[in-house]
Structure 1
Amino acid sequence: MTAYREENKKTKPKISPRRISGTVPEGFKPCQQITRDLDAKMGLQIKVHGPRGEKKIIDLCEKEEQLEKMSVLLLKKIIVQQLSINGDLRLVFHGETMEESSMLSTYSIKHMSTIYMILVLPGGH
């Protein structure tokens, strides 16, 4: 067995480490730039955390101006539609319950903000 190893050592080609040099190819973008470009193409999104720990990304709108003019009630309708939820729900952002009549700009909601969803159950006091 030792003779076999010795024979293999003799026949293996030696590989020298390759040096990386040159310039960055034209059109190359760092990962952060690619992510920003993808986000811009997808529009504005938010993260919604559900009552059972589920996490979903919701597509809201294309431009920031649209986001500023969006009400919490409209946001609820979008969430219900995209997540197929039945029943009443409350939205919480930074520990504050969001009022349906308020605009998202009131709460400083931005792209990829995290909003918590609470399902309101009937009954009880």
Structure 2
Amino acid sequence: MLTKTKTVDGAAIKKAIEGRDGKLLSSFYNDDAVVRVIDRNNPPSKPREIRGRAAISTFWDDICSRAMTHKVDTTVAEGDNLAFMQACAYPDGTKVYCAAMLELKNGRIAKQTVVQAWDE
């Protein structure tokens, strides 16, 4: 079932991420959206690709279920693009940092690229 949402903007992204609301985050995506993740385990030549809202929902449910904090530091919007920076921390002090670029179509996310790094 499609959850009706307003146009995705920085405030909505911040609220959903910081609130660890996977269902709300998933509702921001088009049915055929693609999330591309680039990190140590998924280099630029072989990024992880998560295709379709159902798979993206599973991705966000996993992230939002983890015992960690999320803080969206900065959001920048221009036309049909929205970028944000996100700092996360696990209870043991391990930190993760993420830069994300969203491409919007009809006010919803069509493509997202995430570049992330974490303490090891």
| TM over 0.5, shorter chain | no
Q: TM-score, normalised by structure 2?
A: 0.28
Which has the larger helix fraction? Answer: 1
TM-score normalized by the length of structure 1: 0.27
Q: Which has the higher strand share?
A: 2
Q: Which structure has the bigger radius of gyration?
A: 1
